[in-house]
């Protein structure tokens, strides 16, 4: 079932395009692409910027571990930003899906070149409490932990002898710079050492649309075709100087898949008393789901294959969605997760699939980082001067949930311009609007966050 949504949200790729006007500063845009390997190449003299075609870093990606306190602080900050953004985007009534992790990582890469008040505003908005020297190593460590997920043995055969377990999580960063432009080696070292990204030369000045298509192709490749045309026509123009990109793709089977034989059309209750008939899948009387009951809500935790990631569904009591969403934050999520215990459950929930896309520029400015988008921007850590600012931050995300598992993808673009006990099972029927998230259970990182108001919006 293919459900499309025009609602725009952010769960994925951050593209930052930096461009060049010395006079008035227009708004900023975003984009994404794959970077070349930077290994075994001489490092330029750090005190002197060099042309982009010569930009190479001999820094290998760091494999140094960081302390658990730094990692925990980073996850707390990322999840706090996730819910701040949820509140900023959830005013409408439609479905919502985005990757706060993708957006956080893309903006954090961008913040490596920010200085002064611009950097302070970005840190406050993103809930960065670690200093820059600790922040980027912590993000690198978290990224490597996530990259290790699903590295177990191949899926075990099912009763019919066919593999029914699968797991794929891919996170990629890349940077595109205007050929002939000057970027500081210190900035390139951060990209290579902590994000595994290099600098690809692009001819934004002479062939902006060809460069845009090239970036979009990279995004589509990294997300297996689930995020297409991230950068719309016109968003990259001859004044673009830099595009920083992040893409995330996730595809995994449920640890305990639903039987398609139990899927049937059932009512889903929309806001305002209306209902819509949608396919609902059911798993009957099982004691392997996590469950918690709180004031005004139920929570169900569905693990994916290998048990390292899960989908947590937060189902507000009938008529209490708005109240529940208003109180939802990272601290509340921590309490809910702590309360979840394995229980005896009959679970019924809808199949759903939809897309979201957003221009986050105004939202991020209102959340506390306005300087990055105007004449006050200071990204001198990228080029040695204050000639760059963000024109736009673009995000697209896709999610599909069925009896077998979940497929999700997202991309972000920042475009910068110059200038238990045996008992009766608990029946949980997800037949009204609900909040859901996909999280790494080991670190607690929220990778995706969303809301389903109507599983079949068409």
Q: What is the mean pLDDT of residues 110-118?
A: 97
| Sign, Cα dihedral of 362, 245, 355, 322 | negative
Q: What is the pLDDT of residue 126?
A: 98
Q: What is the pLDDT of residue 19?
A: 34
Predicted model pTM: 0.82
Indicate the average pLDDT of the chain. Answer: 83
Q: What is the pLDDT of residue 209?
A: 95
| Sign, Cα dihedral of 368, 374, 376, 382 | positive
pLDDT tens-digit map of 420-456: 434 457 788 888 898 888 998 889 989 889 899 988 8
**How many CA atoms are closer than 13 Å to the CA of 12, on its beta-carbon side?**
34
pLDDT tens-digit map of 318-372: 989 999 999 999 999 999 999 999 888 999 999 999 999 999 999 999 999 999 9
Q: What is the mean pLDDT of residues 16-23?
A: 33
| Sign, Cα dihedral of 316, 321, 327, 328 | positive
Residues pairing with 267 in the sheet: 277
Three-state SS sequence of 100-147: HHHHHHHHHHHHCCCCHHHHHHHHHHHCCCCCHHHHHHHHHHHHHHHH
Higher-scoring residue by pLDDT: 375, 37: 375
Q: What is the mean pLDDT of residues 390-411?
A: 96
Angle 309-311-313 from CA coordinates, rounded to 5°: 155
Q: What is the pLDDT of residue 347?
A: 93
Higher-scoring residue by pLDDT: 31, 140: 140
Most confident segment among 10-24, 51-65, 406-420: 406-420
Higher-scoring residue by pLDDT: 44, 222: 222
Q: What is the pLDDT of residue 18?
A: 30
pLDDT tens-digit map of 55-88: 557 788 888 889 999 999 999 999 999 999 999 9
Q: Is the pLDDT of residue 37 over 90?
A: no
Q: Is the pLDDT of residue 39 over 80?
A: no
pLDDT tens-digit map of 274-329: 899 999 999 886 778 899 999 999 999 999 998 999 999 999 999 899 999 999 99
Q: What is the mean pLDDT of residues 147-164?
A: 53
Q: What is the pLDDT of residue 180?
A: 85
Residues pairing with 315 in the sheet: 298
Q: Is the pLDDT of residue 46 over 50?
A: no
Spell out the domains of the chain, with CATH numbers in brackets.
50-253+353-419 (3.30.497.10)
- Lowest-confidence range among 16-25, 204-213, 415-424? 16-25
- Which residues are within 8 A (CB) of 429 and not within 5 positions of it... i.e. 6 or more apart? 348, 349
Q: What is the mean pLDDT of residues 268-273?
A: 84
Q: How many CB atoms lie within 10 A of CB 242?
A: 33
- Residue % of the chain over a pLDDT of 70: 83
Q: Is the pLDDT of residue 3 over 60?
A: no
Q: What is the pLDDT of residue 33?
A: 28
Q: What is the mean pLDDT of residues 122-138?
A: 97
The pLDDT-based confidence of 9 (bands split at 50, 70, 90) is very low
> Distance between CA 441 and CA 423 in Å, rounded?
27
pLDDT tens-digit map of 206-236: 999 999 999 999 999 999 999 999 999 999 9
The pLDDT-based confidence of 93 (bands split at 50, 70, 90) is confident
Cβ-in-10-Å burial (0-12, 13-18, 19+) of 159 comes to exposed
> Distance between CA 153 and CA 409 in Å, rounded?
24
Q: What is the mean pLDDT of residues 15-42?
A: 30
Q: Is the pLDDT of residue 30 over 60?
A: no
Q: What is the pLDDT of residue 153?
A: 43
Q: What is the mean pLDDT of residues 401-418?
A: 95
- Lowest-confidence range among 124-133, 252-261, 278-287? 278-287
């Amino acid at each position: 079932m293919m459900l499309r949504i025009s609602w725009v949200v952010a769960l994925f790729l951050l593209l930052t395009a930096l461009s060049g006007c010395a006079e008035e500063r227009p708004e900023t845009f975003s984009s994404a692409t794959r970077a070349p390997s930077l290994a075994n190449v001489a490092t330029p003299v750090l005190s002197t910027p060099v042309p982009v075609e010569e930009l190479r870093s001999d820094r290998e990606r760091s494999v140094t571990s960081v302390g658990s306190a730094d990692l925990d602080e980073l996850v707390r900050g990322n999840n706090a930003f996730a819910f701040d953004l949820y509140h900023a985007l959830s005013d409408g009534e439609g479905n919502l899906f985005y990757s706060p992790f993708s957006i956080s990582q893309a903006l954090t890469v961008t913040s490596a070149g920010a200085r002064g008040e611009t950097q302070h505003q970005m840190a406050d908005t993103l809930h960065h409490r670690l200093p820059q020297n600790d922040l980027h190593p912590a993000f690198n460590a978290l990224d490597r932990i996530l990259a290790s997920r699903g590295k177990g043995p191949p899926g075990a055969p099912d009763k019919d002898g066919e593999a029914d377990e699968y797991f794929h999580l891919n996170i990629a960063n890349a940077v595109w710079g205007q050929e002939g432009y000057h970027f500081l080696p210190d900035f390139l070292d951060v990209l290579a050492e902590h994000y595994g990204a290099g600098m690809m030369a692009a001819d934004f000045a002479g062939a902006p649309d060809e460069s845009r298509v090239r970036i979009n192709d990279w995004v589509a490749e990294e997300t297996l075709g689930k995020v297409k045309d991230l950068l719309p026509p016109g968003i990259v123009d001859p004044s673009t100087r830099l595009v920083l990109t992040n893409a995330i793709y996730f595809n995994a089977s449920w640890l305990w898949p639903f039987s398609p034989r139990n899927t049937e059309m059932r009512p889903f209750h929309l806001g305002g008393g209306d209902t819509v008939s949608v396919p609902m899948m059911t798993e009957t009387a099982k004691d392997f789901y996590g469950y918690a009951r709180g004031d005004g809500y139920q929570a169900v935790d569905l693990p994916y294959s290998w048990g390292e990631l899960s989908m947590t569904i937060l189902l507000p009591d009938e008529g209490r969605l708005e109240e529940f969403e208003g109180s939802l934050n990272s601290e509340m999520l921590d309490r809910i997760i702590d309360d979840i215990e394995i229980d005896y459950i009959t679970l019924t929930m809808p199949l759903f699939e939809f897309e979201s896309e957003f221009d986050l520029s105004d939202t991020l400015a209102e959340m506390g980082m306005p300087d990055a988008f105007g004449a006050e921007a200071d990204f001198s850590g990228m080029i040695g001067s204050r000639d760059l600012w963000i024109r736009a931050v673009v995000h697209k995300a896709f999610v599909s949930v069925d009896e077998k598992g979940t497929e999700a993808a997202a991309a972000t673009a920042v475009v910068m311009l110059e200038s238990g006990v045996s008992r009766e099972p608990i029946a949980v029927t997800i037949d009204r609007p609900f909040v859901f998230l996909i999280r790494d259970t080991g670190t607690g990182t929220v990778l995706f966050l969303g809301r389903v108001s109507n599983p079949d919006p068409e």
